[in-house]
Amino acid sequence: MNYEILHRDPLIILIPEFVSEKEAQYLMSAGDRLMQRSTVVCDDPDGCVDPRRTSESAHLREDANVEPIRQRARDFSRLQTCETIQVVRYRVGQEFKPHLDQCHPSTKEGAREIRTGGQRGATFFVYLNEPEAGGATVFPAAGLSVLPKARAAVFWRHQLPSGATDTRTLHGGARVVRGKKYGANIWLRQPKLPAGMQINAQLQPQAISG
């Protein structure tokens, strides 16, 4: 699988053909059937509506049709615990202001997620289509803006070698100006390490065949 390094520190990678056209169409169709107002992790098990995130989203259940995508994410990232895929839809004017993907331990649900599944260690954001204008993924600290390209994915890790959150991975979804944007979030969990050990946050992805 070919990829392009967009930024080295923090490591941000573009994978031009992470999903097939058939897979992209399936994800959009499956997501459309379940779309609701997007929420964020908070004290409520059902999530909380946040004015910073105005899109719609759908968490897909375990599904044999999308398991190859999740396995691709595991192989590329070298992280084995993969959440179910979340499909997102942005209409004109909708956005997700800059944020971090890691679960915040100060919230009840964030703490529970970390305790039961581990902290999020990496993200793939997959572009399922291309809006007519707008909808870039922006990384303010890296000075990077990635325009949507159908079937491509942006990949980044969340932690410094110490295991602490790398706040330079702050990112957001810019407003869609024309058209509609579909994407998919694939989050992978970082295994809990014994005290004193560090992770290699800059570990190069595994080269795999598409």
Q: What is the pLDDT of residues 65-90, one digit of tens each?
A: 999 999 999 999 999 999 999 999 99
Q: Which of 19-33, 93-107, 158-172, 182-196 has the lowest mean pLDDT?
A: 182-196
pLDDT at 210: 25
* Count of domains observed in the chain: 1
State pTM to two decimals.
0.90
> Amino acid identity of 86?
Q
CATH number of residue 53's parent domain = 2.60.120.620
- Tallying the residues shown for the chain, one arrives at 210
> Amino acid identity of 17?
E
Q: Is residue 209 part of a domain?
A: no
What sign does the CA torsion over 54, 55, 60, 64 have? negative
Q: Is residue 98 part of a domain?
A: yes
User: How does residue 199 score in pLDDT terms, banded at 50, 70 and 90?
Assistant: low
Whether residue 163 has pLDDT greater than 70: yes
Question: What distance in Å separates the CA atoms of residue 81 and residue 143, rounded to the nearest whole number?
Answer: 30
Calculate helix-pair angle for 67-77, 21-32, nearest 10 degrees.
120
Domain around 119: 4-190
